[in-house]
Amino acid sequence: MFLANVFGQEKGQTSFCYNPNIPKMPLGLNVFYQPKSNFTIFADYKYYKKSNGTERPDAEPGVGIYSPGEWGNSGNANEDDYSYYSSYSYTMRTSWHVGIGWKIFHRNQLSVTPYLGVGTYTYEDFKEYYTTINDVTSGWNVIGYQEISILDHYDLEYFRSYTLGALVRWKALAVGIGYDTAPKGVSLSIGFNMSSNVNNY
């Protein structure tokens, strides 16, 4: 009965933080939840995507006013002579972790919680190349050209990733610093606690 009263007076603590990986992924979020004890569970997600050019409709064979083989059109192309096509080319990185922590210090609304997590880092890289058909003519002797996609390169890789660090709570403020093993970088946590960080004991 005594233990039930003591634990019944404890309050859980939840923290939400902006959580980038510097310098690889500038966007991220993590959540720490301490359920009525020193024990903490957490999860994070980080993200980055960069397009390598201005997006435009993908060039495909047989599309457009100068479509080869239609309405008397004809054209010549050297498929060994190709160029980088930036329309939908991009590089994207994502990572996530889940883990645990343990509060080792708590006094005057200040607490320190080291944490350790494991997850996955995903790297995607997509590049597209094109060639140009020259001297495409129609029945009205219109001279033009057409770009056609001839090659896609898609690279998708998965890596095991670990993160470790410490979260410091003070009143309604939550700040932490850690390290991610993949991609290698500093993991920051800057956010707030859902309630003031009062002692739970």
> pLDDT value at position 8?
39
Residue 90 or 162, more confident: 162
Tens of pLDDT, residues 134-156: 555 554 444 555 555 566 778 99
Residue 17 or 77, more confident: 17
Task: Tell me how far apart the alpha carbons of residues 57 and 155 are, in angstroms, rounded to a whole number.
Answer: 22
Positive or negative CA dihedral for 194, 195, 196, 201?
Answer: negative
Confidence class of residue 89 from pLDDT cuts 50, 70 and 90?
confident
pTM (2 decimals)?
0.74
Residue 12 or 151, more confident: 12
Domains of the chain, start order: 12-193 (2.40.160)
Give the chain's mean pLDDT: 79
Alpha helices in the chain (DSSP H): 2-9
> pLDDT value at position 63?
45
Task: Tell me how far apart the alpha carbons of residues 76 and 58 are, in angstroms, rounded to a whole number.
Answer: 20
CA-closest candidate to residue 16, choices 194, 201, 157:
194
